[in-house]
Structure 1
Amino acid sequence: MEFDAVILSGGRSSRLGGVPKPGLMHDGATLLERALQAARGAAAVAVVGPDPGTLPEGVLSCREDPPFAGPAAAIAAGLSALERHRGADSRHLPAAPFTLVLACDMPRAGAAVRTLLEAAGQDASADGLMAVAADGRRQPLVGLYGTAALERSVTEAGQRGALDNASVFALLASLEVREVPVPEGSTDDVDTWDDASALGVTVPPGSHGRDSHTAASRHGAPQQNSTLEASGEEPG
């Protein structure tokens, strides 16, 4: 299954006191690294958010304009970055038929992504596939969408001035998206310190200042070497 990937990592993390989610740790890797692992196999990957300066070679970095304009605007920025990348390639590569959209705050998302890829391989007739958790909650930020259909929705929303601060559900409203049940826990996300604690997500060792230690203690969360927790529909 050929696909590109847009990884959203630029949210405000307001319920974490502003501590950036992408740098939080899970099982020895950052949440951003976990998302990149979940997207392995993608022909091209765009990470939308502040450039951490540590992205693997070939991974694109971009930012929604204006910053913090929400997940729909972030998806649009990621698609634009992928399009520019293709245009700059002397081989004039076509767009992959599918685009994986993935938020970086779901450390176990790899299992959900594999399920979506398998489902798309069996039946790719819809405009895309969206993960559905065991409790029935839909998660549009673990989705495998037809690239042409997603680009069309982004273009139409942009023409209406309806990208900034729009939800992903609103962006996808005109698409025929198939809901796919995914393994239990694979879409659990990190919105709060309680979420982080439940998922075994921690602040990175050696963190300083207002980011990890102070914000964690201010919110009653365990500090370094202790566990935190996760959930939400923001870009990161």
Structure 2
Amino acid sequence: MEFDAVILAGGRSSRLGGAPKAELRYDGATLLDLAVQAARGARTIAVVGPHPGTLPPGVLNCREEPPFAGPAAAIAAGLSTLEQDRAARRLDGPAPLTLVLACDMPRVDAAVRALKAALEQPGAASRDGVMAVSADGRKQPLAGFYNTAALQRSAAEAAHRGALKDASVFALLANLDVRAVRVPSGSTDDVDTWDDASALGVTGPIQGNDPGDRSGAPAAGLDFGGKR
């Protein structure tokens, strides 16, 4: 299965007091590391957000315009960067599918595997993609494979209307024929608050130069009381 991937890693993290979600840690890896691992097999990966300092070779980085313009704008920026890379490398065309992932789901690898399995079922190619649905029925559009051409058209139309900034992903996908796919329990649980982080076993970014400091609690002296 040929696909590209767009990983969203640039939100304000307001309910985490501004602590970058991409730098939170789970089982020894950052959440961004885990999202990149979940996208393994992608022809090209674009991470949308501040540059984390290091990325695996070949992984692209960009920002939505303006910064913090929301997930729909971030997806559009990722698609544009993938297209620019494709043109620079003189590839024949975009990958048929684009995997869209948020970087705040530490167990999303299981969801991606379930989505891939769904795409291998008869008739899957006749639709515009698949989207994860949690065990309790909650749709998660930031864990899905989407028809690249259809997603590009939707992003271009929204940009033409000036409707990308602060738009929801559901609005961006409104005209796509996307099938909801039930994924393993917990695989799309995300981190919006420190309570979420604690429940999932996610800890805070490593502070300073101390590799042993993985406390999920805010560092002393920092104000983590902001709300979204």
Q: How does 1:1-236 map to 2 (within 5 A)?
A: 1-90=1-90, 92-122=91-121, 123-207=124-208, 212-214=218-220, 218=224
The AA in structure 1 aligned to 2:137 is G
- Equivalent residues of 1:157, 1:171 under 8 A apart: yes
Give the 3-state SS of the residue equivalent to 1:124 in structure 2.
helix
Report the equivalent of 2:212.
Answer: none
CA distance in 2 between counterparts of 1:110 and 1:216 reads: 32
The CA deviation at 1:204 is 2.8
Q: Structure 1 residues 215, 69: closer, same or farther in 2, change over 3 A?
A: farther
Residues 1:215 and 1:189: Cα distance change in structure 2 (over 3 Å): farther
RMSD: 1.8
Counting matched residue pairs gives 217
TM-score, length basis structure 2: 0.91
Consecutive unaligned residues in structure 1, runs of 5 or more = 220-233
Q: Structure 1-normalised TM-score?
A: 0.88
Quote the Cα distance in structure 1 between the aligned partners of 2:146 and 2:27. 29
Residues in 2 aligned to 1:193 and 1:53: alpha-carbon distance in whole angstroms:
24
Percent identical across equivalent pairs?
Answer: 68
In structure 2, distance between residues paired with 1:132 and 1:170: 17
Q: Which runs of 5+ in 2 are unaligned?
A: 210-216
Q: Which runs of 4+ in 1 moved over 4 A?
A: 215-219
* 1:17 aligned partner, one-letter code: G
SS in 2 for 1:180: strand
Q: What is the rounded CA distance, in whole Å, between the counterparts of 1:217 and 1:198 in structure 2?
A: 22
